[in-house]
């Protein structure tokens, strides 16, 4: 009876895992290894306790971890509230609508381009003022596997990506070590 | 310029050539190709070209064509004549009068070395959008090849995938990607391009989350560039920013703000956009910007690609189907496979 329940649980988690990974296969690509003594900013969306464990692993492995938090990166919705423009575009006469709609769409696109420019400026400042050489983004999940990505801030190139099939287990350190081994070229 | 594969698919595409006037064979009207060479000896080409395009396209698939002479006769009913040039916002009314789904018009200019540059616009009445492209060929010896090549471009764009490509994107190029994928799916997209030999800039990839939804990214399907473009046609004359002493200070400030926004984001949009992209180029040193929009269930995608060095739109394609991995494979295959020149 117990083994049947276990089999159902395993089947369900496999199904959930495959659904959540649809189109996002387990992949790994390392353009160039990240040296262990590099200055890194690790951005991870996780509770503080878990975040500390993750950062501790990076420190333990020899990285110079800079104090950057995910919340230091604002979201586009915080900065650009362009919905107001749509509201005022309706103030005009009816025949204005089509032409202003095009201007509104273009304005919307420009905000996305501008947002990317602003982020690039922030990253350049991180590199120049705080000597952050690599930006590391991690997403660790309880099921469905996590993913990681590293950016070389000298060139703004993506240098490492991994979609890991390994989910967040009781042994968080092991999972983070897997990611570190992967980005440093040890795995 | 045309891809043999694309031409092989033409019979399939014909059925998908959607007519705005439901149930009817689409009507393509061909206006003048205005001679901008300041050499009247070549004026005869102003009608030769559109007539040749019309014959050529009619030979390839079922479409009703209207040549400049025929359009002129229709317009006589309205006491009008076919003008050599129209402003884009005048095309809706013109195509309504002549009952055309598409209106093709443009200019040509002679270049040194016995070459000719043709700038062509294809206006779609149903969508109120205009696709513009430029093609250069040799006069005399290759004039018919040039006509076939331009016809091929039009046919490809009228097809199911709305395909247009002026040149391939060689491996080793540095690309920046705007997309609505997120997290692990975005990683897969990056992986596919990096594994294929491209350098990928960290645009969007430097955030944990991507706020672009499939609805939002659809705004990027229209794209204006230096040579080739695909744009919504707006009518600056229809826009009114009325104000007077009766409006009050607050209303005046508001309307002034909208007027300025209209100038920046419609009339001068191309310049506004490239100024921002120039800044992005300084940080990321990108060769090409690819905008890849996926539908909600990731079973279909479209792409636009801008060459940031030449400020040129070099690739458009829609309705690429499959899952994320197969769509990535299709994109990479297309951008690396040499276009067969006729």
Say what percent of chain B tops pLDDT 90.
Answer: 61
Taking residue B72's Cβ as centre, other Cβ atoms within 10 Å add up to 15
Nearest Cβ partner for A116 among B266, B280, B285: B280
Nearest Cβ partner for A102 among B206, B220, B266: B266
What confidence tens digit (pLDDT) does each residue in B27-39 have?
A: 999 999 999 998 8
C-alpha torsion B139→B143→B146→B147, nearest 10 = 140
Q: Do A88 and B254 touch (CB under 8 A)?
A: yes
Contact B234, B267 (CB under 8 A): no
> What secondary structure letter does DSSP report for A31?
S
Q: Which residues of B touch A41 (CB under 8 A)?
A: none
Cα–Cα distance for residue pair A37/A116, rounded to 1 Å: 29
Nearest Cβ partner for A149 among B174, B187, B283: B187
Contact A136, A149 (CB under 8 A): yes
Region A147-154: what's the mean pLDDT?
Answer: 95
Q: Which residues of A touch B201 (CB under 8 A)?
A: 156-158
Half-sphere exposure of B256 (CA within 13 A, CB side): 8
Q: Do A29 and B220 touch (CB under 8 A)?
A: no
Q: Do B204 and A117 touch (CB under 8 A)?
A: no
- φ/ψ of B214, rounded to 5, equals -65, -30
pLDDT value of residue A98: 59
Q: Which residues of A158-167 are buried (b: 16+ CB within 10 A; e: fewer)?
A: bbbbbbbeeb
A132 vs B141, residue with greater confidence = A132
Which range (A24-38, A43-57, B17-31, B322-336) has the least confidence?
A: B17-31
What confidence tens digit (pLDDT) does each residue in A171-184 have?
A: 788 889 999 999 99
Nearest Cβ partner for B188 among A108, A119, A163: A163
Token representation of residue A49: 């306790």
Nearest Cβ partner for B183 among A73, A77, A139: A139
- φ/ψ of B7, rounded to 5, equals -65, -35
Q: Do A161 and B201 touch (CB under 8 A)?
A: no
Nearest Cβ partner for A106 among B191, B266, B325: B266
pLDDT value of residue B227: 86
pLDDT band at A100 (very low <50, low <70, confident <90, very high): confident
For residue B108, what are the contacts with CB-CB under 8 A and spacing of at least 6? B33, B34, B35, B36, B37, B42, B45, B49, B116, B117, B118, B119
Distance from CA of B267 to the nearest CA of A (A): 9
pLDDT value of residue A2: 54
Q: Do B190 and A112 touch (CB under 8 A)?
A: no
CA triplet A170, A173, A179: central angle to 5 degrees? Answer: 120
A98 vs B95, residue with greater confidence = B95
> Can you give chain B as a three-state secondary structure string?
CCCHHHHHCHHHHHCCCCCCCCCCCCEEEEEEEEECCCCHHHCCHHHHHHHHHHHHHHHHCCCEEECHHHHHHHHHCCCCCCCCCCCHHHHHHHHHHCCCCEEEEEEEEEECCCEEEEEEEEEECCCCEEEEEEEEEECHHHHHHHHHHHHHHHHHHHCCCCCEECCCCCCCCEEEEEECCCHHHHHHHHHHHHHCCCEEECCCCCCCCCCCCHHHHHHHHCECCCCCEEEECCCHHHCCCCCCHHHHHHHHHHHHHHHHHHHHHHHCHHHHHHHHHHHHHHHHCCCEEEEEEECCCCCEEEEEEEECCCCEEEEEEEEEECCHHHHHHHHHHHHHCCCCCC
pLDDT value of residue B262: 81
Region B153-163: what's the mean pLDDT?
Answer: 93
The β-bridge partners of A64 are A39
Token representation of residue B294: 């996926």
Q: Which residues of A touch B202 (CB under 8 A)?
A: 135, 151, 156-158
- Residue A176 parent element (H or E): helix A172-183
- Mean pLDDT for chain A? 77
Cα–Cα distance for residue pair B308/B283, rounded to 1 Å: 13
Cα–Cα distance for residue pair B101/B321, rounded to 1 Å: 27
pLDDT value of residue B251: 79
Tally C-beta pairs within 8 A across A and B: 172
Nearest Cβ partner for A106 among B238, B269, B284: B269
Q: Do A119 and B184 touch (CB under 8 A)?
A: no
* Cβ under 8 Å to B: A residues 148-177: 149, 151, 155-158, 161-163
pLDDT band at B263 (very low <50, low <70, confident <90, very high): confident
Q: Do B325 and A139 touch (CB under 8 A)?
A: no
Predicted confidence (pLDDT) at residue A87 exceeds the cutoff of 90: no
Distance from CA of B216 to the nearest CA of A (A): 9
- The residue among B156, B93, B127 whose CA lies nearest residue B231 is B127
Predicted confidence (pLDDT) at residue B308 exceeds the cutoff of 50: yes
Find which of A19, A161, A165 to mutate to test the B interface (most B CBs within 10 Å of its CB).
Answer: A161
Cα–Cα distance for residue pair A134/B137, rounded to 1 Å: 48
What DSSP string describes A91-121? TS-GGGHHHHHHHHHHHHHHHHHHHHHHHHH
Q: Is residue A80 less than 8 Å (CB to CB) from chain B? A: no
B111 vs A102, residue with greater confidence = B111
- φ/ψ of B318, rounded to 5, equals -130, 170
pLDDT band at B257 (very low <50, low <70, confident <90, very high): confident
What confidence tens digit (pLDDT) does each residue in B115-150 have?
A: 999 999 999 999 999 999 999 988 866 788 889 999
Biggest CA-to-CA distance, chain A = 71
Distance of CA B23 to the CA centre of its chain: 26
B189 vs B233, residue with greater confidence = B189
A93 vs B263, residue with greater confidence = B263
Report the complex ipTM: 0.80
pLDDT band at A30 (very low <50, low <70, confident <90, very high): very high
Which range (A144-158, B13-27, B137-151, B198-212) has the least confidence?
A: B13-27
Predicted confidence (pLDDT) at residue A138 exceeds the cutoff of 50: yes
pLDDT value of residue B163: 95
pLDDT band at A105 (very low <50, low <70, confident <90, very high): confident
Region A123-143: what's the mean pLDDT?
Answer: 89
Closest-CA residue in chain A for B219? A105
Distance from CA of A61 to the nearest CA of B (A): 23
pLDDT band at A67 (very low <50, low <70, confident <90, very high): confident
Which range (A36-40, B61-65, B139-143, B314-318) has the least confidence?
A: B139-143
Region B74-100: what's the mean pLDDT?
Answer: 95
């Amino acid at each position: 009876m117990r083994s049947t329940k276990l089999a159902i649980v395993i089947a369900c988690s496999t199904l959930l895992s495959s659904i959540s990974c649809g189109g996002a296969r387990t992949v790994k690509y390392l353009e160039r290894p990240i040296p262990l003594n590099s200055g890194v900013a690790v951005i991870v969306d996780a509770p503080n306790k878990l975040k500390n464990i993750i950062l501790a692993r990076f420190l333990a492995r020899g990285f110079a971890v800079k104090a950057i938090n995910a919340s230091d990166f604002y979201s586009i919705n915080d900065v650009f509230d362009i919905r107001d423009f749509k509201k005022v575009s309706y103030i005009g006469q009816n025949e204005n609508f089509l032409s202003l709609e095009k201007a509104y769409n273009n304005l919307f696109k420009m905000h996305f381009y501008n947002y990317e420019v602003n982020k690039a400026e922030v990253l350049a400042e991180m590199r120049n003022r705080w000597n952050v050489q690599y930006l590391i983004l991690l997403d660790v999940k309880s099921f469905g596997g996590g993913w990681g990505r590293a950016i070389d801030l000298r060139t703004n190139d993506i240098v490492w990506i991994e979609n890991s099939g390994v989910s967040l287990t009781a042994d968080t350190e092991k999972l983070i070590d897997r990611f570190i081994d992967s980005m440093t070229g040890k795995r | 310029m045309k891809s043999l594969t694309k031409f092989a698919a033409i019979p399939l595409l014909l059925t998908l050539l959607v007519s705005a006037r439901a149930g009817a064979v689409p009507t393509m009207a061909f206006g003048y190709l205005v001679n901008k060479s300041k050499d009247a000896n070549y004026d005869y080409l102003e009608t030769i070209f559109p007539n040749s395009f019309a014959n050529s396209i009619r030979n390839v698939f079922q479409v009703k064509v209207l040549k400049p002479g025929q359009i002129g006769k229709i317009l006589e009913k309205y006491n009008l004549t076919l003008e050599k040039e129209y402003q884009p916002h005048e095309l809706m009314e013109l195509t309504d009068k002549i009952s055309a789904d598409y209106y093709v018009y443009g200019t040509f200019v002679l270049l040194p070395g016995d070459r000719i540059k043709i700038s062509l616009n294809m206006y779609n009445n149903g969508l109120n959008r205009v696709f513009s492209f430029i093609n250069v060929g040799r006069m005399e010896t290759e004039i018919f090849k040039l006509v076939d090549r331009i016809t091929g471009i039009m046919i490809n764009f009228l097809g199911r995938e709305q395909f247009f490509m002026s040149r391939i994107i060689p491996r080793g190029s540095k690309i920046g990607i705007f997309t609505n994928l997120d997290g692990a799916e975005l990683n897969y997209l990056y992986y596919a391009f990096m594994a294929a030999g491209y350098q990928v800039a960290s645009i969007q990839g430097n955030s944990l989350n991507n706020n672009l939804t499939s609805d939002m990214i659809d705004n990027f399907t229209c794209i204006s560039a230096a040579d080739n473009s695909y744009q919504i046609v707006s009518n600056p004359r229809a826009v009114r920013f009325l104000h007077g002493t009766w409006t009050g200070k607050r209303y005046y400030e508001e309307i002034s703000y909208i007027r300025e926004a209209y100038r920046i984001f419609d009339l001068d949009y191309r310049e506004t956009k490239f100024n921002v992209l120039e800044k992005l180029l300084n940080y990321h040193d990108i060769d090409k910007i690819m905008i890849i929009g996926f539908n909600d269930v990731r079973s279909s995608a479209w792409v636009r690609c801008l060459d940031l060095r030449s400020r040129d739109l070099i690739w458009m394609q829609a309705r690429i189907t499959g899952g994320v991995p197969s769509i990535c494979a299709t994109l990479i295959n297309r951008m690396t496979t040499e276009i067969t020149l006729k």
